[in-house]
Amino acid sequence: MLRTSSMLCVLITAIASAGCLRQTQGSDTTAAKEDIERMKEKPLAEVIPTNEPSPTFMLDGKPMCFAGSNNYYLIWKSEAMIDSVFRNSKKMGLTVFRHWGHLDAGSLDGTVPHLKDDGTKEGVYFQYWDSKANKPAYNDGKDGLERLDFLIKKAKDYDIKLVLTLTNNWPDFGGIDQYLLWYGLTKHVEFYTDPRVKQAYKDWVTHLLNRVNTLTGVAYKDDPTIFSWQLANEPRRRNYTKTDSADGWDKETISKWAEEMSAHIRSIDPNHLISVGDEGGFWNGSTSFYDGQDGTDHEALIALENIDYATFHLYPDSWSTSISWADKWIEDHIVAARKAWKPTVLEEYGVVVKRDEGGRIIKGWDRRERAYRQWNEWMTQRGGAGIMYWMQAGYDDYKKGRYTDYDGFTVYDPETDETAKLLQPYTTAFAEKARACVLAQGENLRPRRDVPQGFVTTTAPPGQMQALAKLDRDGW
């Protein structure tokens, strides 16, 4: 999840505590008004199904396209709340679920500050600064990584695969700025360039991947319940805090970091997929999100050897863009992914709605309905391999009701929630109807990398598949 739009600034305190803070990039109110005017005049754009082959995921030798969602709070909430979210996910036909796999604090003795509050989420934390050893340390206990053990076990029970992020660009759950506090650094860019910070990140990755789940007895690196490792949630050159700095950056800063870190993951874990977790910002034009303003070069990132698939996000309200602008944004990412021959996933998307005290949507529904229909059609018909809305929630055992819709994007169960009902036909049918997988059926598909049964991989490029087929025919 990203930033808070100007419409939602009144919710900053609540949202920040939930870990979903958004920062303003401009006035979303103007974009929303323009969208409403366009909607009066213009029907949904026609989406023409592609006949061009697209890269897909593969599971046990078959093409795999999927619908999924996101969440952030299950690592510290009760079993009942986890069950509620996963039950709703199954009703929605979701097979992949993205969740934070990080939760960083300062030092326990107070000598190194926490980035926020006491550095924990209801007493839970994974990584902290050990003042005696003068380096980060790991909380492997019941109020630490055993919570992640439990989440992974629950996902396995529900036959859902997990995307786990390894850090966060935004000042929630510790993340990038907590690393800076550990080492007394002040610039956001130093997370990507300081040798001590980079080594600390690598050490965290090493610890996590080699961890043996206390409930299943399976090392994380050997567990097919995990769909992929993700380098960071929305890495950028800034996060709209005092650590922002214009100097020290160039076009390759984040790409070089991603190359180094993905190679480190691959050296430990040859079987799991790896993604960057970027929002999809290009560096090939002059307009917003195409001009490299946030330091990411999407095409360079997905060209990296150890990055297996592309991700991109979509939030018109926060980005001061329009719903119709998104058509080109989606198509451009599908084209870029096809060029790199790596599957692409619309990993987060949302349109803000306002709810009354009873949780009923009272504003923004028309825009959301139009957008979600359009975007899901575009991903289904044009060659996308995965769709993941922000965010799936459920029952809150503290409130004795629905989990609070802090950011205006929350989706609940399809029996009572308008948005879930809207999305369900797309999420339940995507695996069969996505053109990327429809066109792959019956083809002589080859994996880009061989992996054990139950692990997800990706399809090899057509030329490589043809060459391998010829070797099969003619002998090695």
The span from the CA of 411 to the CA of 386, in Å, is 18
Q: Can you list the alpha helix ranges (DSSP code H) found in 167-297?
A: 175-182, 190-193, 195-210, 253-268
- Cα-Cα-Cα-Cα dihedral sign, residues 233, 148, 414, 411: negative
Among the listed residues 190, 279, 299, 348, the single catalytic one is 348
Whether 432 sits among the annotated catalytic residues: the reply is: no
* Neighbouring-strand partners of residue 354: 363
**Measuring CA to CA, which residue among 146, 99, 100, 109 is closest to residue 124?**
146
The span from the CA of 234 to the CA of 303, in Å, is 18
Whether 52 sits among the annotated catalytic residues: the reply is: no
> Do 295 and 253 contact (CB within 8 A), yes or no?
yes
The helix/strand count (H/E) of the chain reads as 15, 18
Among the listed residues 190, 234, 299, 347, the single catalytic one is 234
What contacts 294, CB < 8 A, 6 or more positions away?
A: 236, 237, 238, 279, 281
Six token digits for residue 223: 């567990």
Query: β-pairing, 361-363 with 354-355?
Result: antiparallel
**Measuring CA to CA, which residue among 391, 420, 406, 403 is closest to residue 80?**
403
* Neighbouring-strand partners of residue 165: 100, 230
At residue 388, what are phi and psi to the nearest 5 degrees? Answer: -140, 105
Active site residues: 234, 348
